[in-house]
Amino acid sequence: MLRHWRQEVDLALSEGRIETNLGFGQTPLDIACLSGYDYGVRKLLDAGANIHKRTHQGETFLQWQSPLHVAAALGHAKIVSMLINEGADVDASDGGMSPTPLFYAAGAGHVAVVKTLLAHGALLTWEDPLQDGATALHVAAALGHAKIVSMLLNEGADVDA
């Protein structure tokens, strides 16, 4: 499956279709981030792919998420760094309703991604309105990600938030 996605990304790049819909509203950049295809991400960024565009069609976990959300949720630390260096918003949230990249990375236990997001000033206080105001600290603790809990506390996360 990953090979197919990478071929789709390469084909779109070769044809100059960097913002084309590859299905479910996903662009080649979304697919490259999803599949961890860092070479494809780099090529798409160099070609001017929109790092702020969100998916908006289909009932997938990607719905309304940016490429940074996808890379953070799946633990693709190198891609997260590339996107941030290109200007991706580390605190991107859909009007406060969708989780931030830090929330996703903390919940999934992706230490390297959390470290990268924190190094770039990720907000510690975003609260999930659908989970009784849970923060990245709460979700990391609930899921047993002790190293991430320690990192968030060292950065000043409020245990009482």
Q: Which residue type, as a one-letter code, is found at position 72?
A: A
**What pLDDT shows up at residue 94?**
64
Q: What spatial distance separates the first Cα and last Cα of the chain, rounded to whole Å?
A: 41
- Can you give the CATH number for the domain in which 150 is found? 1.25.40.20
User: Angle, nearest 10°, between helix axes 101-108 and 111-119?
Assistant: 150
* Integer CA distances (angstroms), 1 to 35, 65, 76, 77, 161, in order: 9, 21, 17, 21, 41
DSSP character for 135?
-
**Using CA atoms, how far apart are residues 39 and 37, in angstroms rounded to an integer?**
6
35 is in which domain, residue-wise? 1-89
| Positions of the chain with pLDDT under 70 | 1-3, 24, 55-64, 94-97, 129-130
Whether residues 59 and 104 fall in one domain: no
Give 139-148 pLDDT, tens digit per residue. 999 999 999 9
Whether residues 95 and 85 fall in one domain: no
